[in-house]
Chains A and B, each alone.
Chain A
Amino acid sequence: MRRTIVTAAILALCLTIGMSAAVKKYGKDLTLKETTKISDIYAKPDAFNGKTVKVRGAIVEVCEMKGCWIALASDKEFQQMRFKVDDGVIVFPLDAKGLTATVEGVVTITVETEADQLEHGKMMAEEMKKPFDPKTVKGPKTTIMIKGEAAEIQ
């Protein structure tokens, strides 16, 4: 009996370790073979606008309220790109921060007016429980993000 319990405990531990190192899929399957660098998208946004890309990077932020977006670190310093999913399609776990994600979706460029930025800034501040200073909004702002339904995290 004791041997059985010890064996079961070891098996459970191995399974847990194995699962924690495994790739976890979210949403649909990734389909693209080629990975695009985030820095390439920032370098030529118009060339990628509306195109489906697969990118990879460290998860540096997760939507705290609904888990509906993650921010990925670029291959270049001081750059990050948001990967947004429709609410409820994927719920990214908050403890995924620091893990590496491969995501697939459509590059979307939007130009936010000052009013849009104020509204968005307030919403983001609420989501991330961080203060928002309306004075930081100065003129229209171009935002590049990836909207998609497929991700893998490891």
Chain B
Amino acid sequence: MNWRHLNNVLHRDIGYLAVGLTVVYGVSGVAVNHVRDWNPSYRVEKVALQIAPIRATDRDEIVAEAKQKLGVTQPPRNTFRPDPDTLQLFFRDGNYTIDLPTGRVITERTRPRPVLYEFNQLHLNTPKRLWTWIADLYAIGLVVLAITGMFVLKGKTGITGRGAWLTGAGVLLPIAYWVYHLWLE
């Protein structure tokens, strides 16, 4: 087995192993890149409701009256009054923010986006522990893929021909952008 054959076998097999993780990191990467425009992990649904104004003045009575007017029977996980006119009720399946004098209500339901939530958790290394090692191995695997990728082909389309120009362009891209970012942006 010569070195190029070994190189190509490594490139092929690491490539196969990296497919799943590349899809996870690639899809999540695009999603997380646009975090200013949307929440990539959660879908937040807000709906406005109107109930009769809350007349009670004691905290427990306010909560009881609000629940009764909202038609909710289960006890909230927590309640909070950020100011004298507002009551927040937190339930497992959603939250209510009530303007007590007017009875205006905003209901908020937060749901993880299927698949994307899991992808983003892995991409952002939320689980830590074992996943840190898996992610490190994947990153090293990508470097090996990049290096072995340069030597898969020989001749005109290899690293001594067209490959040199494309590799050079790929290396220049981050450098050029950084220069632009530092001095021109």
- Residues on A lying within 8 angstroms of B by beta carbon are 58-60, 64-66, 73, 77-78, 80, 88, 91, 93-95, 97-100, 126
Contact = CB atoms under 8 A, between A and B. Distances in A.
B38 to A, nearest CB: 10
A27 to B, nearest CB: 9
Interface residues of B, number: 27
Contact of A97 (B83, B110, B126): B110
B126 A77 contact: no
B80 A65 contact: no
Given A78-B81, A98-B95, A64 B90 contact: no
Given A65-B35, A66-B35, A98-B95, A88 B124 contact: yes
List 4 A-B pairs, minimum CB-CB distance, nearest first.
Answer: A98-B90, A58-B78, A94-B42, A73-B80
9 contacts: A58-B78, A78-B84, A94-B41, A94-B42, A95-B42, A95-B111, A98-B92, A99-B90, A100-B78
Given A91-B126, A95-B111, 8 more contacts: A58-B77, A58-B80, A65-B36, A88-B124, A93-B42, A95-B112, A98-B77, A100-B77
A60 B80 contact: yes
A19 B160 CA distance: 56
Contacts, number: 58
B82 A94 contact: no
B151 interface: no
Contact of A98 (B35, B78, B111, B124): B78
Q: Which of A60, A77, A78, A98 has the most CB of B within 10 A?
A: A98
A78 B35 contact: no
Contacts of A126: 36
B53 to A, nearest CB: 20
A98 B107 CA distance: 13
Contacts of A93: 41-42
A71 to B, nearest CB: 9
Given A65-B36, A77-B59, A98-B95, A58 B90 contact: yes
Interface in B46-99: 59, 76-84, 88, 90-92, 95
Nearest to A98: B90
Q: Which of B44, B59, B76, B110 has the most CB of A within 10 A?
A: B110
Contacts of B22: none
B39 interface: yes
B92 to A, nearest CB: 8
